[in-house]
């Protein structure tokens, strides 16, 4: 029986994942609520359970021996209502080395499959994307670390083929105590194909600077400010973010930020963010909320919540 295959559905799904010549845009969705609360300025953040999506080099400079976390995101609820679930963490295996691993699932709402001759709905299809990776972090000097991770990317948007690719991320972090400088290259890898041709992964580079100032009695108060800028590689466009976070006694935190991006060339455009969280005896609960600032932006009401543990 002739069907208008899932091409209509695939086109809609691909539209939500694709930035012109790029595809697999879900790779740019960072599941880390701490990073999102600061407008995605994770290149110079201290290590979190989701460091492999920020800057994997941060794990090697971290004082923690082990961190693990899980996060859930409702992405673009006014448009596609995508669900993102991620589980990740890292552990120190030597004084100078850490191992990280993580899995990120990105699922869309179902699309109808329609018979081409009758127009009747004959079923449904749900686009699914998955990224699973493992990485290493190395402390080269007491103030310098390097890291890299490799991921397998699986993407099914209903085309004649299911897409698959291998992607790598690289990071460097310099911690001068009064200032941190970070550099990352993300989504560097093979092309991905759905049977209609091959597409580049959304490769990009990021440079960030940040500082943390502690003040008050026993340094109970801390204010962190991060500034980050980057560029996509295959269809050049720039993006930038500014984030700030206040922490009280390493217990309670609130954050806010603003990200500028080109909605025509990137997976998402400009947005503002707010975040909050608490930490008790190594247990962490964090959340972030996004507000799209482009006209008719579907990012508004996007939120992420995560649970983590560190020791």
Q: What does the pLDDT look like over 132-149, one tens digit per residue? A: 999 999 999 999 999 999
Q: Which helix (H) or strand (E) holds 71?
A: strand 66-75
Cα–Cα distances (Å) from 220 to 15, 46, 224, in that order, read 46, 17, 13
DSSP 200: B
Q: 3-class SS at 53?
A: helix
Residue 111 pLDDT grade (very low, low, confident, very high; cuts 50, 70, 90): confident
Residue 91 tokens read as 């552990």
- Pairing, β 221-232 against β 82-94: unpaired
- Does residue 3 have a pLDDT over 70? no
Averaged pLDDT, 9-18: 40
Quote the mean pLDDT of the chain. Answer: 88
Q: 3-class SS at 117?
A: coil
**Is the entire prediction scored with pTM above 0.85?**
yes
Contacts of 71 (CB under 8 A, 6+ apart): 31, 32, 33, 50, 84, 85, 86, 304, 305, 306, 307
- Does residue 273 have a pLDDT over 90? yes
**CA 178/CA 176 separation, integer angstroms:** 6
Residue 116 pLDDT grade (very low, low, confident, very high; cuts 50, 70, 90): low
8 or 296, higher pLDDT: 296
pLDDT tens string 171-185: 999 999 899 999 999
- Does residue 11 have a pLDDT over 60? no
The domains of the chain are located at 7-310
pLDDT given for residue 115 in this prediction: 65
Residue 23 tokens read as 């595809």
**What superfamily in CATH does domain 7-310 come from?**
Outer membrane protein transport protein (OMPP1/FadL/TodX) (2.40.160.60)
Residue 284 tokens read as 């962490």
Averaged pLDDT, 71-82: 86
Contact 206, 186 (CB under 8 A): yes
């Amino acid at each position: 029986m002739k069907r208008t295959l899932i091409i209509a559905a695939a086109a809609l799904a691909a539209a939500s994942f694709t930035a012109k010549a790029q595809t697999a845009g879900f790779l740019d969705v960072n599941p880390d609520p701490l990073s999102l609360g600061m407008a995605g300025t994770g290149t110079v953040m201290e290590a979190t359970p989701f460091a492999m999506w920020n800057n994997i080099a941060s794990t090697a400079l971290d004082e923690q021996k082990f961190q693990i976390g899980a996060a859930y995101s409702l992405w673009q609820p006014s448009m596609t209502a995508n669900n993102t679930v991620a589980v990740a963490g890292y552990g120190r295996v030597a004084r100078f080395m850490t191992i990280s691993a993580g899995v990120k699932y990105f699922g869309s709402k179902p699309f109808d499959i329609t018979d081409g001759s009758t127009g009747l709905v004959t079923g449904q299809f749900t686009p699914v994307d998955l990224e699973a990776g493992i990485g290493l972090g190395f402390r080269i000097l007491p103030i310098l670390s390097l890291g890299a991770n490799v991921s397998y990317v699986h993407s099914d948007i209903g085309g004649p083929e299911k897409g698959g690719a291998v992607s790598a991320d690289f990071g460097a972090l310099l911690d001068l105590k009064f200032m941190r400088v970070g550099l990352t290259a993300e989504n560097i890898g093979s092309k991905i194909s759905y049977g209609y041709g091959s597409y580049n992964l959304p490769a990009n580079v990021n440079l960030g600077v940040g500082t943390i100032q502690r003040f008050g009695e026993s340094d109970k108060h801390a204010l962190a400010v991060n500034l980050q800028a980057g560029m996509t590689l295959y269809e050049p466009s720039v993006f930038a973010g500014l984030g700030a976070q206040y922490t009280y006694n390493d217990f309670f935190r609130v954050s806010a930020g603003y990200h500028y991006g080109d909605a025509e060339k990137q997976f998402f455009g400009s947005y503002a963010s707010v975040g909050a969280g608490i930490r008790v005896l190594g247990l962490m609960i964090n959340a972030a909320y996004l507000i799209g600032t482009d006209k008719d932006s579907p990012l508004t009401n996007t939120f992420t919540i995560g649970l983590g543990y560190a020791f």
